[in-house]
Structure 1
Amino acid sequence: MPAHAQTSTAAVVTAGRRLLEEHGTDALTMRDVAAAVGVRPPSLYKRVRSRADLLRLILENVTDELTAVTDAAANSGNPTADLRSLLTAYRDFAHANPVAYALMNAPQAIPGATARSERSSATLLRLVTELAGPQHALPAARTIVAWASGFITMELAKAFRLGGDLEQAWNFGLNRVLNAIQCAND
């Protein structure tokens, strides 16, 4: 296969992310990514130093995309409605990108990965501060993220085995968590 003279880091990350979703983290190889962008494997190393570096770049890309999606969802000016929309967008993103979502929740598995949590959490923290007050903002944010992440992780793993409507369960839980957070400011 003749190698194209050029590719870009963005193209490598895009191809890596697509392959990650198709085959899983353990099956992601530099050889497959090189083939996907039309270069020979040695040429790929001009763009990324290693598989770990590629995973780090993919994680940064995923985090940036999720941040943009959740920030855009929180735009009504009503903190309760915006938090509900943000969490729904978070859940939708996880369903559309289940492998990347799992990778985001285990950044320690990628050498050199650092969470971009400050920027990615800014809108969530702002909304929770409005609802729970500044003294309760961090515990409230952790509570809602833990609940949503746990629900989504179980949902993606098909671990809810007792039947019932998962959408109804999501809304029930979300309503309860939002009510609890709002009560923290009373």
Structure 2
Amino acid sequence: MPRAGLTPDLVVAEASRLSDEKGFEALSLAAVAKRFGVATPSLYKHVDGLTGLRREVSLRAVTELGDRLQGAAVGRSGPDAVRALFGAYRAYAHEHPGGYAATQRGAAPTDHEAYAAFARPVEVIAAVLRGFDIPEARMVHTIRALRSAVHGFVDLEAHGGFRMPEDIDESYDVLVEGFIHVLERRPGHTGHGAEEAEEGEN
């Protein structure tokens, strides 16, 4: 691709593909420049160095993840919505390993654009959890527990941590159903909030 054809969007898109192929931590300006057949300094016209490139890849990834979770949850509530969230989260990690790794970096509160982007997947999860009457004072803790459960599983899976012959999908189902069991049996859960959660996603 000639240098004149480069744009910030093209550079970030190629960096995202490279990240998925080689790993987010392996991402470099030189590697991206090589993909386009240009000198590394040419990229500085389109991204703010390696730090800026990684930021943009992270923003792209967390936006995709938010869209994926939103699409999975819409029209669903209660246990069905939780199953959809868990499934979408794991599917994204499988399809975009570099992008998924980028979503784990978080964003500084002073970076308002990034902070808002990283908040969106959390907001989708919160909307689903409200269907289980989770008090707002406990919401962050419950979201952290859900994310930790999913991340622990997909990280072990990605690094070959499950070597026994039993079906890994079935193991994931055990995790999901166990989390749902805890949500449904927590003190104060009435089951009346499910319709509100579903409406909030429409």
Normalising to structure 1: TM-score of the pair? 0.87
**How far, CA to CA, are the matches of 1:27 and 1:143 in structure 2?**
29
Looking at both structures, which has the greater relative contact order when contacts are Cα pairs under 8 Å and sequence separation is at least 6?
A: 2
Shift of 1:87: 1.3
Look up the match of 2:175: 173
- The residue type equivalent to 1:143 in the other structure is A
**Which amino acid in structure 1 is aligned with residue 183 of structure 2?**
I
Residues 1:146 and 2:148 aligned together: yes
Partner of 1:125: 126
Contact 1:132-1:140 within 8 A present in 2 as well: no
1:67–1:40 CA distance, 2 compared to 1 (3 A) = same
Structure 1 residues 156 and 174 mapped into 2: Cα distance closer, same or farther (>3 Å)?
Answer: same
Deviation at 1:38, TM superposition (A): 4.6
Structure 2, unmatched stretches of 5+, are: 190-202
Following superposition of structure 1 onto structure 2, how do residues 1-186 of structure 1 map, counting pairs within 5 Å? 3-107=2-106, 114-115=114-115, 116-135=117-136, 136-184=138-186, 185-186=188-189
Deviation track 1:15-59 (CA, whole Å, cap 9, x = no partner) reads 111111222234322122123235432221001121111011000
Seen in structure 2, the aligned counterparts of structure 1 residues 160 and 37 have a Cα distance that, compared at 3 Å, is: same
Distance 1:90 1:79 in 2: 17
Once the two structures are superposed, residues 111-130 of structure 1 have per-residue CA deviations (whole angstroms, 9 ceiling, x without a partner) of x7955332221110011122
The DSSP-based 3-state class of the residue aligned with 2:151 is helix
List per-residue Cα deviations over 1:77-133 (Å, max 9, x = no partner): 32321121111011000011112212322348xxx7955332221110011122142
1:60 is paired with a residue whose SS is: helix
Give the Cα separation in 2 of the matches to 1:34 and 1:176: 46
The 1:82–1:57 alpha-carbon spacing in structure 2 relative to 1, beyond 3 Å, is same
Aligned residues: 182
| Aligned 8 A contact 1:132 1:182 in 2 | no
Are residues 121 and 150 of structure 1, via their aligned partners in 2, closer, same or farther at CA, if it must alter by over 3 Å? same
Deviation at 1:9, TM superposition (A): 0.7
Alpha carbons of structure 1 residues 122 and 158: separation in structure 2 relative to 1, 3 Å: same
- Greater Cα offset, 21-30 or 84-93: 21-30
Is the CA contact (8 Å cut-off) linking 1:79 and 1:127 kept in structure 2? yes
Q: Could you tell me how far apart the structure 2 residues matched to 1:48 and 1:56 are? A: 10
Contact 1:132-1:183 at 8 Å conserved across structures: no
Cα RMSD after superposing both structures = 2.2
Q: Is the 8 A contact 1:80 1:178 kept in 2?
A: yes
